[in-house]
Structure 1
Amino acid sequence: MNKTIRIGTRDSELALWQAHTVERKLNDLGFATEIVAVKSQGDIILDKPLYELGITGIFTKTLDIAMLGGQIDIAVHSMKDVPTALPKGIVQAAVLKRASEKDILVFKDNTVFLHHSATVATGSLRRQAQWLNRYPHHNVVDLRGNVNTRLQKLQDNDWNGAIFAQAGLERINLTPENHVALDWMIPAPAQGAMVVVAMEHDAFCIDAVSKLNHTESEICTQIEREFLRALEGGCTAPIGAYAEIVGKDIRFEGVLCSIDGQQKIHIEKSTPVEDYENFGRQCAENALQSGGYEIMEQIRKDLKK
């Protein structure tokens, strides 16, 4: 059987870039494809911080519904936006080779403001918490919208800077000259990675998409998302995680912060590559036993306010 694979995606410039990247790779393998773009609630509701919307997978839910309803065959996501538990009937079919995992600060004039009172924008509790932990004298304001919208908001407001994922800006050639890599900030689990999901009984699409899988990226993102899941943190919680394969070992670094940044638990561990199964959970248990239970309980209370 040969069929046209309908690729579901959000309709932002970055999401379409990701979908077309998957499309080209599938076309190169001889598969026929069609792009189906839809707008998610996360793109429509821009006047509230993400954590206030109370929806798990706000950027992926619309595509999940389209897939379960038979309107699309596969969906392409920024993996950091995907809940750790996929909807029943939907499975991970491939993780593409990861781009940069780093966060960057885009600033207006220069970075001298880092040493003074300043206002920095981000829609991420993880970025907010880590920033306030390092710069407690700064003010952090909410920033929502797609990449293009957020860059414009930075220019339109009197903020000193805003935090972005390096991979997102690079993919659509929008990285401003005025930026600096935040090497000290632990990224969101699976940041920089693209994932393709499919229906679990769709053997044709799963077989086609699996040819795009990058094993090293799959292993590292699995560990990071396992760490997130074990901490019981949705993609809005102030949790960072990054795993990388160095030689024959996997090096992991994770962070859990209180929302105000005043409390921080930092984990660094290594394990042989062949022992990667459950490594993320082990790191999470280490964090929980080091005060993480109390921080997570406080986070849940804070998010209910």
Structure 2
Amino acid sequence: MSPSQTPTIIIATRESRLALWQAEHVKALLEARGHSVQLLGMTTKGDQILDKSLSKVGGKGLFVKELEVALEEGRAHIAVHSLKDVPMELPEGFALACVMEREDPRDAFVSPHYENLDALPQGAVVGTSSLRRQVLLQALRPDLKIEPLRGNLDTRLRKLDDGQYDAIVLAAAGLKRLGLEARIRATFAPTAMLPAAGQGALGIEVRSDRQDLIDALAPLAHQATWLTVAAERAVSRAMGGSCSMPLAAHGTFTNDVLQLDAAWGDVDGQAPLVRVADNAAVTTLAQAEALGDAIAQRLRAGGARGAEPLI
């Protein structure tokens, strides 16, 4: 179906400033290809529950569910997600139609007073609600005090500026997309702070029977990013992954060879950090996922434990 024949595409989006930026970005790209596009702003449970850790109330899928209901009911046609917020298994009838070119996947160190992690004084308070970041920070600086940090990006920065934390750790991609790159005091090398699966990448979800939308989104896809995040997400899927598990998985692509690194840590500090890496020639999603599965097996062999059911 040509753009002129396609009805208006309605994008379901969270109403945070970053989510709206992402939806507007996709809207502009589709409009440039001749499509008519509108946004449907929504508030999700993940946006509403700010007094509890995501790992205790259902995981990052809380940011996605209401958008999927809008797709199911036909109130919207596509949903734009930060891929690291998308559960590893989509509900029946839904599909990831497009993965776009990745922004910077690294974590950012943000602080009004200290230039990097090493500069923090002993016992400094660092904010993050990511179990992955918590275990990796503990491995780098066991003396730090890691405190929960919830809310959208602007809320987190305000809490930092109000003096509740000495520093916070955020995804560099979100800061860059909102023009807040100046807030980044340092970026963590992936070797030190391995990113989350899908971090920095945008994914577009549709109903799996909407081939017309899948075709319309195809030109927005970035194949190397898609293969890379497919491998990363396969690690998480094989480990039973969600934000309730301190797991990192990050791939880099060079000349059809995908290098995949992963790490698992114990939040209670009772077990050592497990890190594994491997590479393979990858040109298909199946090959990418096979590499991810193999990495997950090696994590388990090294002592990593899969996710436990949420209580």
8 Å contact kept, 1:128–1:140: yes
Q: Which residue of 1 aligns with 2:167?
A: 161
The within-5 A match list for 1:238-249 is: 238-249=246-257
Q: Which residue of 1 aligns with 2:281?
A: 272
Q: 1:132: how far off?
A: 1.0
Q: Which residue of 1 aligns with 2:138?
A: 132
Percent identity reads 33
Q: 1:130: how far off?
A: 0.9
Please, which of 10, 14, 19 is the counterpart of residue 10 of structure 1?
14
8 Å contact kept, 1:250–1:270: yes
8 Å contact kept, 1:190–1:221: yes
The within-5 A match list for 1:63-212 is: 63-110=67-114, 111=116, 113-114=119-120, 116-177=122-183, 179-183=185-189, 184-212=192-220
The answer for unaligned runs of 5 or more in structure 1 is none
Q: 1:86: how far off?
A: 0.6
Q: For 1:97-144, what per-residue CA distance to the aligned partner results, in whole angstroms no more than 9, with x for missing partners? A: 001100011012124643522110001111111111221111100000
**TM-score, normalised on structure 2?**
0.92
Q: 1:287: how far off?
A: 0.8
8 Å contact kept, 2:9–2:36: yes
Q: 1:157: how far off?
A: 2.8
Q: Does 1:284 align with 2:296?
A: yes
8 Å contact kept, 1:83–1:235: no
Runs of 4 or more consecutive aligned structure 1 residues displaced over 2 Å after TM superposition = 111-115, 175-178, 260-263, 273-277
Q: 1:152: how far off?
A: 0.2
218-227 vs 102-111, which moves further: 102-111
Q: 1:260: how far off?
A: 3.0
Q: Which letter maps to 1:9?
A: T
Q: 1:204: how far off?
A: 1.6
111-120 vs 236-245, which moves further: 111-120
- Count how many residue pairs are aligned between Structure 1 and Structure 2: 299
8 Å contact kept, 1:132–1:260: no
**TM-score, normalised on structure 1?**
0.94
Q: Distance in 1 between matches of 2:98 and 2:109?
A: 30
Q: Mark the CA change 1:180 to 1:204 in structure 2 (over 3 Å): closer, same or farther.
A: same
Q: 1:56: how far off?
A: 5.5
Q: Secondary structure at the match of 1:300?
A: coil
Q: Distance in 2 between matches of 1:158 and 1:68?
A: 41
8 Å contact kept, 1:80–1:235: no
Q: Which residue of 2 aligns with 1:256?
A: 264
Q: Secondary structure at the match of 1:211?
A: helix
The answer for unaligned runs of 5 or more in structure 2 is none
Q: Distance in 1 between matches of 2:282 and 2:87?
A: 25
Q: Distance in 2 between matches of 1:113 and 1:210?
A: 45
Q: For 1:202-238, what per-residue CA distance to the aligned partner results, in whole angstroms no more than 9, with x for missing partners? A: 1221110122110000000000000000011213311
Q: Distance in 2 between matches of 1:169 and 1:243?
A: 21
241-250 vs 18-27, which moves further: 241-250
Q: Which letter maps to 2:105?
A: E
8 Å contact kept, 1:113–1:160: no
Q: Mark the CA change 1:177 to 1:65 in structure 2 (over 3 Å): closer, same or farther.
A: closer
Q: Which letter maps to 2:64?
A: T
The within-5 A match list for 1:18-97 is: 18-55=22-59, 57-97=61-101
Q: Which letter maps to 2:268?
A: D
Q: Mark the CA change 1:277 to 1:47 in structure 2 (over 3 Å): closer, same or farther.
A: closer
